[in-house]
Each structure stands twice: as C-alpha cells, then as structure tokens.
Amino acid sequence: MKKNIAVLPGDGIGSEVTAEGVKVLKKIAQIFGHHFDFDYALIGHEAIRTTGNPLPDETMKLLVQSDAILFGAVGHPMYDNDPALKVRPEQGLLRMRKELGLYANIRPVKLFDELLHASSIKPEILKGSDIIFFRELTGDVYFGEKGRKDNNQTAYDTMIYSRHEVERIAHIAFRAAQTRRKKVTSVDKANVLESSRLWRETVQQVAAQYPDVQLEHLFVDAAAMKLIRSPRSFDVVLTGNLFGDILTDEASEIAGSMGMLASASIGDTIGLYEPIHGSAHDITGKGIANPLASVLSAALLLDISFGLKQEADAVIRAVEMTLKDGYRTVDIADSHTPKEKILNTHKMGDEVAVRLEKVAVEV
Ligand code: IPM
Ligand code: MN
C-alpha cells in the first residue's frame, strides 16, 4: 500500500513523541511491504514564530493532499502567562479540526494489564477497564460565539449545538457500541443547560434506531465521579466537546498515564491522529516524555484511515510486549514491576520497533 502521511510535530514534547510514532510507522512499512511517504509541516507556536500564523496556508495545502495526519501537540507557556495575546497556538489545532470537518474525536481508554499499578486508582477498581470516548469536536463552547462587552468588563463564550451535530456523532458512538458491550453513556448537563437538553433529546431519538444498545444518561458532574469510582461500568461514552476534553484527561488516569492515551479525529475528510496530552513544556527537551500515546495514535491511523487492522494490532501487541518486558518511561514507572527498566523517549520507541519484528510473525 502506498500512502502519504502528513506529520505535524507542533510544540514542546510534540516533536519528541511524534518522532517515535513515525519510527513505528516506518518499521511497519518495512515489515509489511508498504510505502509510506512522510511530509512535515508547521503548526502552533512553531508556526507563529516563523510565519505569524498558527495554521499556515502551506500546512493546510499539504494536509488536503495527504492520506492521514500524525499530529503531536500545540501550546507554549508564554501564551498561558499572557491571556491578552490574540494569536495563539491552540487556534491552529482548532482551525484544522474545523476546516477538515473532524467532528468525531475517538479516545480509547484501555488499561494494559502491565500498568495496573502505575495509576493512582486502586488496582481492584481498575482491573479490566475498557472505555471508548466519542467526543464531539467541532461544536460546543469551543466554536460558539465569543467576545467581550461592557467596555471589556464582561466576556462570554456560547455553548451551542445543532441537532445535526449531535446526530452524526451519536450514530458513530452507537455503531461502535454494537461491536462492543452494547452500552452508551451519554454525558451532558441537561439539568441546567438548554444545549444539553437538545443533546439529550437528540441522543434519545438516535438511540431508538439501535434497540440492541442500552442508553444511559449521566450529568457531567456525576460522570466525573463515577469514572473514578467504577470505571468498569462504562463501555462507550458519548459527549460534547468541552465535557469530553475534561473527562478524557481524567480518564487517562484509568490507563495509567496521560502519556498512554491516543486519539483519532475523523469526519468528512481525512483522519487526524494525536496523543491526548499537550506540549508539556515542563519536561520538553529532557527526552523523558512517554512516546506510547503517539505510537498508539499511529496504530489508530493504520486501522481507521488505511484499514490495516493486522498492522495496527501488531503495534498494540508490540507495545504490550515492551511493557511486559519491564520497559517504562518515568510517568508509568512503579515499584511493583519486577526488573523495571526506565527508558528515555527515544529508547522506548526503539524497544517497540524491535518487538514489531517478532509480533509481525504472529499476527
Ligand atoms: C485536546 C487539547 C485541545 C482541546 C487544546 C490544545 C486546544 O486539550 O486535544 O484535548 O482542548 O481540544
Ligand atoms: Mn484536552
């Protein structure tokens, strides 16, 4: 198979972890006889620095010609410390999602058995957790009308959803549930918010078309609590942009670390694959970031955009074997692992790549 992959490393640890995702994709191409071409482009703070634009035209031009996108992270502390700055790295990511019509953000939260003790949640509560989040990605308060008024004394962001926006993500979530444990938990704040009442009404209508799937509604505050109290009670979670953003950071603790969580953003056109974590400037340049979220994002890319299920499974198996052999980055280190070996970002990627050779024979 011949494919063009656009690589957007972005800011902070983005380039460090994305290098390992690319390493694994190259290894897959070599083992399975595919031809992947990688083209790099700028986004975020790096793009602002050199072009003044967080999503340069040249980057968009590359993206629309590509078959899939591997993305790292965007962000920089200088913007976090100066809210008055008008041009911001995150705008690059948000515009890319919107312009490419990537309305469905899929975030699988599956605990590798080997990481049972890496999480701050008790192992007996965690064991067997396997959740998949469907976060709506191009609507909500992220894209509603926003501004300042009253002589700059008041600011507002509008939480807004259309029926159409809710329907299309709901269908994707319900179809996924049919292939899993057949339960959808829709998360909203319908006891307070009008947009959530439309969300709930629409999800109920969509659910009627999937009688084999059980639908449960939770308010977001209760969902946040239940995720930690009984993560095994969740199968598919369907939620809006803001609630999904917050709950998936929380849920990453179920997978042991933020550094483990991959995501796929799909919709009308091309697929975008990225770790859920940010640019992490506190550890940038130290070489200690966990590359597995990028590696697992590469697996999602192979599976969803290219339909290469075997290759995707090989990547996941190789990650599992690497963990089983005791290799860890600092974020997933724990005192329970016998013969634990702490590796840097680069070496962790190497260990996964080495194991791909062995795994490829089995799958
Ligand atoms: C994410 C990130 C982004 C979001 C930021 C960087 C704009 O936190 O992908 O979860 O809020 O969607
Ligand atoms: Mn986030």
Record the tokens describing residue 215, joined without a space: 């639908």
Q: Which pLDDT score, from 0 to 100, does residue 361 have?
A: 81
pTM, 2 dp: 0.97
- Nearest residue CA, atom 6 of ligand 1? 90
Q: Ligand 1: which atom is nearest the Cα of residue 73?
A: 6
Q: Hey, what are 169's tokens?
A: 């993500």
Percent pLDDT > 90 in the chain is 96
Please give, one letter per residue, the 3-state secondary structure of 152-199: CCEEEECCCCCHHHHHHHHHHHHHHHHCCCCEEEEEECCCCCHHHHHH
pLDDT of residue 337: 78
Tell me the average pLDDT across 209-214. 98
Phi, psi of 241 (to 5 degrees): -65, -50
Cα first-last separation, the chain: 18
pLDDT at position 336: 83
**Residues forming beta bridges with residue 17, ordered by sequence position:** none
For ligand 1, whether the C-beta of 90 sits within 6 Å is: yes
> ∠ CA 185-74-278 to the nearest 5 degrees?
50
Structure tokens at 90: 């995150």
- How do strand 104-110 and strand 327-328 relate by DSSP bridges? unpaired
Predicted confidence at residue 329, as pLDDT, reads: 98
Could you identify the residue written with the tokens 């913007």?
Answer: 79
Question: Which residue lies with its CA nearest to atom 1 of ligand 1?
Answer: 276
CA distance 306 to 275: 19
Decide if 225 contacts 250 (C-beta within 8 A).
Answer: no
Q: How far apart are CA 304 and CA 248, in angstroms?
A: 20
Helix (H) / strand (E) containing 223: helix 220-229
pLDDT of residue 136: 98
Q: How far is the CA of 250 from the centre of ligand 2 (A)?
A: 10
Ligand 1 centroid to residue 279 C-alpha, Å: 10
Q: Best mutation site among 242, 243, 245 for ligand 1, i.e. most ligand atoms within 8 A of its Cβ? A: 245
- Give just the sign of the alpha carbon dihedral 253, 289, 359, 334: negative
The helix-helix angle for 345-362 and 292-300 (nearest 10°) equals 40
Strands 272-275 and 236-239: unpaired
- For the CA of 12, the nearest ligand: 1
pLDDT value at residue 319: 98
Residues 6+ apart with CB under 8 A from 253: 119, 120, 121, 228
pLDDT of res. 168: 98
Of 7-21, 42-56, 272-286, 329-343, where does mean pLDDT reach its minimum?
329-343
Residue 160 one-letter amino acid = I
Q: Rounded to an integer, what distance in angstroms lies between the CA atom of residue 254 and that of residue 230?
A: 10
pLDDT at 33: 97
215: left (phi over 0), alpha (psi -120 to 50) or beta: beta
Domains and CATH numbers, the chain: 1-111+268-363 (3.40.718.10), 119-255 (3.40.718.10)
Please tell me the distance between residue 276's alpha carbon and the centre of ligand 2 in angstroms.
6
Under the banding of pLDDT at 50, 70 and 90, the label for residue 47 is: very high
> What is the per-residue pLDDT for 285?
97
pLDDT, average across residues 276-289: 97
| pLDDT tier for residue 259 given thresholds of 50, 70 and 90 | very high
* pLDDT over 80 at 70, yes or no: yes
- Taking the CA of residue 274 as reference, the ligand 1 atom at the shortest distance is 9
Q: For position 227, what pLDDT does the model report?
A: 98
Output the CA–CA distances (angstroms, integers) from residue 302 to 22, 54, 70, 348, in the order listed.
Answer: 12, 27, 11, 20
Instruction: Spell out the residues 6+ positions from residue 211 whose beta carbon is closer than 8 angstroms to its own.
Output: none
Range 329-358 average pLDDT: 94
Query: What's the pLDDT at 242?
Result: 98
Helices (H), strands (E): how many in the chain? 13, 14
Give pLDDT, residue 338: 80
pLDDT value of residue 339: 85
Separation CA 39–CA 308 (nearest Å): 20
115: its two tokens? 């990481």
Percentage above 70 pLDDT, the chain: 100
| Structure token pair of residue 287 | 């070489």
Q: What mean pLDDT is predicted for residues 121-150?
A: 97
Q: Which residues are part of the catalytic machinery?
A: 142, 189, 221, 245, 249
| pLDDT surpassing 80 at residue 363 | no
Mean pLDDT over residues 254-271, rounded? 95
Output the pLDDT for position 280.
97
Q: Cα–Cα distance between 274 and 290 in angstroms, integer?
A: 13
> Are 278 and 296 within 8 A, CB to CB?
no
The arithmetic mean of pLDDT across residues 289-313, rounded, is 98
Cα separation, 246 vs 358, in Å, equals: 38
For residue 163, pLDDT over 90 is answered with: yes
Cβ–ligand 1 contact at 137 (below 6 Å): no
